Structure 1
Amino acid sequence: MAEGKFISYLRVSKDKQGRSGLGIEAQRAAVSNYLNGGKWTLVAEYIEVESGRRSDRPKLAEALAHAKVIGGKLVIAKLDRLTRNVDLLRSLVSSDVDLVFCDLPSVPPGPMGRFLLTQMAAVAELEVGLIGQRTKEALAAAKARGVKLGNPNGARALRGKQTGNAEAIAKIREKAAQRAMGLQGIIGGIRKSGVTSVRAIAEELNRQGINAPRGGVWHPTAVSRLLNRLPPSA
């Protein structure tokens, strides 16, 4: 049973949020359900937009530090929302902060729980590697049979160099919408702090180390496009 003080950590990937089926709102719901609809104290929420493979997580570091200072627990909706990097997970489970996963309520605290979490992450990492290996082998076999791989028109469309076909254009728009929704919570927090102009929002996104859609730094034009994709209340 959940008890005590909690810090929640929510993560979405840059380009895989939609496919994961577990966006920010779904993660919030999972945390709320775990905490018995608010019966237990959620002190703060930290949101990170980053790949599950990356180990440099400024928001995760902040969440861990916050939990440690208040003697609380770090609650995560799902194990794969925390990380798919086994080394990072090992370093986290060996820290002084208790980790709680809403999808693994029966995992016990202490050494046994840490062992189980590490083994589960290792199995997930192995499966990702095997899938990648099978994909490469299948593509190599197809190429050896003379099959032409890729779609030149679609590829150019994804680079923004020509109109391309409807499927490629739809994919571009879908990815842009997914990224916008992933940043909705962060934008909302920035606005609530009193930062409202597109230039100031761009500066704050850069300060937080959040990459722009095509990498690099945010500019007012990119922020304006992002805001146009979000609901007015964001």
Structure 2
Amino acid sequence: MSLQAVSGSRRVARLRERNKVQAEAKATAATRAVVYVRVSTDEQVASGNGLADQERAVRAFAESQSYALVDVIADPGVSGAVRPADRPGFSRILAMAEARAFDILLVAKIDRLSRDLRHALTTVSDLAELHDVAFRSVTEAVIDTSNPMGRMFFTFFAGMAEQERYVIRDRTAGGRTTKARKGGFAGGQAPYGYERDLEGGLRIVPAQARVVRRIFEARKRKTTLKAIAETLNADGIPAPKGGRWSISTVAYVTDNMKYRGAIEYLFRWNGQETHVLADGDHEAIVK
């Protein structure tokens, strides 16, 4: 019997009929959309929340397209460099996609999804291939991954978003270096004995400062780091992170130039190191 002479088995016929019914049902049903909005902490500080503006724009777009809006999911204070799957809000979107709860993901701008090209491409590809979910950007209207041309533009704009992220990181790194060279506290956790003030500098925490001075005075007497740690633990004094003092935590104090009124950083960026050591504009705890 020639295989070309038959149209296929009954099983294939049933599958074709089922696919036809599903396609007709999908064509007559309204496209179900989920809106995703995100702002980083820096964006919140610079321009307010921003989430409401994004939501308004995307809601208006969804209405113009007659989409059935399923949900609006937000990730406030989350960097665009964080992998979407690692964000609280977007992880809900992935669960909904797996449950086939919506058909299209809408964002105000592609960088709301991710500023990392790899993350953006992988996320959109997984949504399409694993869950049959399309992706559209309201601002970049040509980005619509339900068609080949839209997928091409998506790749282009994702690359632009990634480049913008590198520009922001370069600018931030340069700003921190400049601030440190002028004696300012250039970020990171405030060292034990200090806390951040309202201007982003350092101010002394008196109770902790007394412990710092005690450690430096003990070292002047040639007391070992181990002996200092044991004495602090015996006196019930919590270590910087709340646990017990150890040789390394005592060494952290004695080796930190900030306690002497100096600022020291070793910045690493783009394969280069920049060492900054300058007089700080904060008050020294020890002389």
TM-score normalised by structure 1 residue count: 0.54
CA deviations 1:162-203 (Å, max 9, x no partner) are 684x6449xxxxxxxxxxxxxxxxxxxxxxxxxxxxxxxxxx
Q: Aligned partner of 1:18: which letter?
A: V
Aligned-residue Cα RMSD (Å) equals: 3.8
Q: Distance in 1 between matches of 2:57 and 2:193?
A: 38
Alignment CA distance shift 1:40-1:121 (3 Å): closer
**Residue 41 of structure 2 aligns to a residue in which SS?**
coil
**Residue 75 of structure 2 aligns to a residue in which SS?**
strand
* Residue from 172, 191, 194 that aligns with 1:161: 194
Q: Distance in 1 between matches of 2:193 and 2:62?
A: 45
Alignment CA distance shift 1:70-1:21 (3 Å): same
**Residue 141 of structure 2 aligns to a residue in which SS?**
coil
1:102 aligns with 2:143: no
How do 1:62-141 and structure 2 match up within 5 A?
62-67=92-97, 69-95=100-126, 96=128, 97-108=133-144, 109-133=146-170
CA deviations 1:34-58 (Å, max 9, x no partner) are 1237953111122223211011234
* Residue from 163, 181, 184 that aligns with 1:150: 184
Identical pairs, percent:
32
Alignment CA distance shift 1:122-1:37 (3 Å): closer
**Residue 71 of structure 2 aligns to a residue in which SS?**
strand
CA contact (8 A) 1:12 1:51 kept: yes
How do 1:1-234 and structure 2 match up within 5 A?
4-19=31-46, 23-36=50-63, 39-49=66-76, 50-55=78-83, 56-67=86-97, 69-95=100-126, 96=128, 97-108=133-144, 109-133=146-170, 148-151=182-185, 161=194, 164=197, 167-168=199-200
Structure with the larger strand share: 2
Q: Aligned partner of 1:52: which letter?
A: G
Q: Aligned partner of 1:46: which letter?
A: I
Q: Distance in 1 between matches of 2:96 and 2:120?
A: 18
CA contact (8 A) 2:115 2:165 kept: no
Q: Distance in 1 between matches of 2:143 and 2:54?
A: 19
Q: Distance in 2 between matches of 1:14 and 1:158?
A: 22
CA deviations 1:112-164 (Å, max 9, x no partner) are 32222222222232233245446656877x69xxx534259x99989993684
Q: Distance in 1 between matches of 2:193 and 2:47?
A: 26
Q: Which runs of 4+ in 1 moved over 6 A?
A: 137-140, 154-160
CA contact (8 A) 2:57 2:138 kept: yes
Q: Distance in 1 between matches of 2:175 and 2:55?
A: 39
Alignment CA distance shift 1:73-1:111 (3 Å): same
Alignment CA distance shift 1:59-1:106 (3 Å): same
Q: Aligned partner of 1:161: which letter?
A: Y
Q: Which structure has the larger Rg? A: 2
Alignment CA distance shift 1:163-1:119 (3 Å): closer
- Which region of structure 1 is more displaced relative to structure 2, 20-29 or 87-96? 20-29
CA deviations 1:21-78 (Å, max 9, x no partner) are 6622112111111123795311112222321101123432321442460351111122
CA deviations 1:72-109 (Å, max 9, x no partner) are 11111221111111111111222321011111223343
Q: Aligned partner of 1:150: which letter?
A: G
Q: Distance in 1 between matches of 2:58 and 2:70?
A: 12
Alignment CA distance shift 1:114-1:136 (3 Å): same
